Every structure is written in C-alpha cells, then in structure tokens.
A and B are shown apart, each in its own frame.
Chain A
Amino acid sequence: DTAVSQTPKYLVTQMGNDKSIKCEQNLGHDTMYWYKQDSKKFLKIMFSYNNKELIINETVPNRFSPKSPDKAHLNLHINSLELGDSAVYFCASSHQTGGPSETQYFGPGTRLLVL
C-alpha cells in the first residue's frame, strides 16, 4: 500500500564510510526527487529525475550520486561520509515536473547520523 517507501529508516555510520539509501514509488509517477532536511528543518532539493533522466542537480558534493534503474526507483549513494551529512533524507515523487499543481508525495525519510 505504501506509496513512496525508503530504506533504511535509520542509518548510523562512521565518517568515511560509503552508504546507500533506496527509494521506490508505486504511484506510476514520472518524476522522483531527493531532498535533505537539516537540523534547522530546511528542505533542500538535491536531485530530480524524470523518467530515469537527471533534470535537476543542485550544488551537492559529487560524493552524492543518484541512480535510477527505472522510473519507479531512485537510489542515493553517498561516498566518504562526513559529519555534515547527518540529516534526514526524503525521497519524493510527482506525476511530472513542470506541470501545474503537481503534488509531491514524500517517503517517510531516512535519518542519517554520521559519527
């Protein structure tokens, strides 16, 4: 039943490690997003994919690499984790980007803590 799902929900890891977060949506949406929400609660767009193609890539370090094997999945791989990467990462999806009134549906979030 879950519309947008992410795994894992919690991730605690050491500095320097490499980790991945997975996201899947079963809504038939064309566009998927990754957001980072820091301790001040700002939601910042990181990446946006439309039909497996990257359309937005904000100024995030290249240690972050999204991968979209198909339009229902958008995974986020992070290399050489740093303390500042600690945040909640949200995956979201929408029917299309650029269309009017396209609501984004969010996954439950992945709480990443880098020690």
Chain B
Amino acid sequence: GQNIDQPTEMTATEGAIVQINCTYQTSGFNGLFWYQQHAGEAPTFLSYNVLDGLEEKGRFSSFLSRSKGYSYLLLKELQMKDSASYLCAVWDSNYQLIWGAGTKLIIKP
C-alpha cells in the first residue's frame, strides 16, 4: 500500500531551527510537495522537490532523497506565525497526490 509518515506534533522555540521529516512508500514517484496549513484554513503550497538535494526558499528549505524515500522541511528563524500543520504529499506514478497526516508545529516564545 501507499504510505507517508510524518511526526504528529513538534514543538520549537521562536528564533530556533526545526526539521520536519517525511518518509514515503508509494507506487512510483513524480515529486514531493510540502504544504502549510494554519488551523481552520486551507493548505498553501510551500515547496516542490523532484530531484535529490536541497531547495532553499527564504527561511524554508526542503530536502529530498529518492533512494531513501525521505524528505525534510527545514524552517529557520522560527516566528510565532509559523505555528501550523505541515503536510507532506507525494505524486505517485499515476500523478495522484498521496497526503501525509501532517505535522502540527507549535512555536513557543
């Protein structure tokens, strides 16, 4: 079956760095997305990786290792507004988007 695993919840301190991991087992792979979802709101796009390596976008970076079925989202200089759920999603061989359950990130002052 298809499976995406992320930690359920993480806590970090304002100004710090946090890494949210995602492992996946899917039938084929055509890319991996990270989305941010604030409570009560719709998911919004953060990043897309299809090749191995690190993609940096401001305070957020996303890493992919296809051979390990692994990705992480790195958030630097954490701000209170970064408190949200972070969803990992993988495009399988049929270009169907398979979603993880999300990681709830709590930022403390």
Binding site for B on A (CB under 8 A): 4, 40-45, 56, 90, 97-101, 103-109
State how many residues of chain B have any CB contact under 8 Å with chain A: 19
Chain A: CB-nearest residue to B99 = A43
Q: Are A101 and B31 in contact (CB under 8 A)?
A: yes
Q: Is the CB of B44 within 8 A of A44?
A: no
- Note all chain B residues with C-beta closer than 8 A to A41: 85, 101-102
B43 to A42, Cβ gap below 8 A? no
Q: How far is the CA of A99 from the CA of B91 in the complex (A)?
A: 10
Min CB distance B70 to A, Å, is 20
CA distance A105 to B96 in the complex (A): 15
Considering only CB atoms, which chain A residue lies closest to B95 in the complex? A98
Does B30 lie at the interface of the complex (its beta carbon under 8 Å from any beta carbon of A)? yes
Task: Note all chain B residues with C-beta closer than 8 A to A90.
Answer: 42-43
B30 and A100 form a contact (CB under 8 A) = yes
Q: A56-B96, A97-B95, A104-B97 are in contact. Are A43 and B43 (CB under 8 A)?
A: yes
Within 8 Å of chain A (Cβ to Cβ): is B74? no
- Of all chain A residues, the one with the shortest Cβ separation from B37 is A41
Known pairs A41-B85, A45-B96, A97-B95; A104 contacts B102 (CB<8 A): no
Q: Is the CB of B50 within 8 A of A101?
A: yes
CA distance A57 to B85 in the complex (A): 27
For the A-B complex with A107-B42, A109-B41 known, give 6 more contacts whose Cβ atoms are closer than 8 Å.
A42-B99, A45-B96, A45-B99, A103-B45, A104-B97, A105-B45
**Complex Cα gap A27–B45 (Å):** 15
- With a cutoff of 8 Å between Cβ atoms, the chain A residues found around residue B45 in the complex are 103-105
- Chain B residues contacting A109 (CB-CB under 8 Å) are 41-42
A103 touches B48 (CB 8 A): yes
Residues of B within 8 A of A43 (CB): 43, 87, 89, 99
Chain B stretch 5-43: residues in CB contact (< 8 A) with chain A: 30-31, 33, 41-43
Fill in one digit per residue for B87-109: 1 if any A CB lies within 8 Å of its CB, else 0.
10100000111010110000000
Contact: A45 with B42, CB < 8 Å?
no
